[in-house]
């Protein structure tokens, strides 16, 4: 799928996230990085979080994971250094459920679960991850973006 990195559906989602998730800060409207929580003033990178492109390889439609329920924007260096670590995933999930609400994210995961018929464990793990982050957030009483 690497050669399709600039697939129009991926680009469309990135533009959608830029539009939905930009906030007014000094100097303009920018999305907030899911790792460091600072504005991304240039070069935003999109990261697939709960289900990766590797997880979706071989599906009839591997682009099923390109949705706001699964993706965040990050600084290039934050993406490189933290995008694929456990703590990085937790931070990204926290931002996703902050924007999209945990029930909606879990609903999306349950909807696509049958498509992963050979690897539903990946989807179940993603659901547990959302529930874990939601539980931890609930103890704090809010969903920080």
**Which residue stretch of 29-37, 46-54, 118-126, 133-141 sits at the interface with Zn ion (rule: CB under 5 A)?**
29-37
Please state the separation of Cα 51 from the chain's center in Å.
Answer: 9
CB of 86 to Zn ion, least distance (A): 17
Q: Which of 43, 46, 1 is nearest to 20 (CA)?
A: 46
* Helix (H/G/I), strand (E/B), else coil: 124: helix
CA atoms of 114 and 17, how far apart (whole Å): 26
Q: Where are the alpha helices (DSSP H) in the chain?
A: 8-20, 53-56, 76-82, 86-100, 102-112, 120-140
The correct pick among 35, 99, 108, 143 for binding Zn ion (CB under 5 A) is 35
Closest residue to Zn ion, judged by C-beta, is 33
**Which residue stretch of 28-36, 48-56, 91-99, 127-135 sits at the interface with Zn ion (rule: CB under 5 A)?**
28-36
What beta strand segments (E) does the chain contain? 22-25, 28-31, 45-48, 71-74
Q: Is there binding between residue 36 and Zn ion (CB under 5 A)? A: yes
CB of 31 to Zn ion, least distance (A): 10
**Which residue stretch of 1-9, 26-34, 50-58, 113-121 sits at the interface with Zn ion (rule: CB under 5 A)?**
26-34
Instruction: Return the number of the residue (35 or 143) whose C-beta is nearest Zn ion.
Output: 35
Residues binding Zn ion: number (CB under 5 A): 5
CA atoms of 26 and 43, how far apart (whole Å): 18
CB of 43 to Zn ion, least distance (A): 11
Q: Which residues ranging from 74 to 113 are in contact with Zn ion (CB under 5 A)?
A: 75, 78
CA atoms of 60 and 55, how far apart (whole Å): 12
Binding site for Zn ion (CB under 5 A): 33, 35-36, 75, 78
């Amino acid at each position: 799928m690497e050669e399709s990195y600039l697939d129009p559906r991926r680009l469309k989602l990135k533009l959608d996230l830029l539009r939905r998730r930009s906030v007014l800060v000094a100097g303009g409207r920018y999305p907030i990085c899911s790792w460091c929580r600072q504005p991304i003033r240039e070069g935003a990178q999109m990261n697939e979080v709960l289900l990766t492109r590797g997880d979706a390889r071989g599906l009839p439609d591997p682009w099923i994971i390109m949705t706001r329920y699964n993706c965040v924007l990050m600084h290039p260096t934050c993406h490189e250094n933290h995008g694929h670590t456990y703590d990085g995933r937790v931070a990204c999930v926290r931002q996703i459920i902050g924007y999209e609400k945990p029930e909606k994210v879990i609903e999306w995961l349950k909807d696509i679960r049958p498509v992963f018929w050979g690897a539903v464990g990946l989807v179940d793990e993603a659901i547990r991850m959302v529930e874990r982050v939601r539980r931890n957030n609930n103890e704090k009483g809010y969903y920080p973006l």
